[in-house]
Amino acid sequence: MEEATTLDVRGLSCPLPVLKANKALRALPAGAALVVLATDGAAVKDFHAFAAETGHELLAWGDEGEHLRFVLRKKAA
C-alpha cells in the first residue's frame, strides 16, 4: 500500500471521528488512503456505516490495544 495520511482522533467521541475523517478525505485525491486512530468504541459501527453510505472503502480495521485503527480509501470521483 502506498503511504497513507494519518488522522489522530483519539479521545474524541461519536460523531467527531467520522466527521473529521470525512473532512480529511475531502482534501485527499481519489484513491488515496487515510488511516484513522480512534478510541471511541462506537467508531467501529460508525466507520462501517460511513463507508456504506459514502462509497469510500473501509480496507481494514482493528483493535491495537490502546486505540482502534481504521484504513479507508477515498472513492473515485
DSSP the chain: ----EEEE-TT--TTHHHHHHHHHHHTSPTT-EEEEEE--TTHHHHHHHHHHHH--EEEEEEE-SSSEEEEEEPPP-
First to last CA, the chain: 20
For the question of residue 14 being annotated catalytic, the response is: yes
Of 14, 28, 37, 44, catalytic: 14
Residues designated as active site: 14
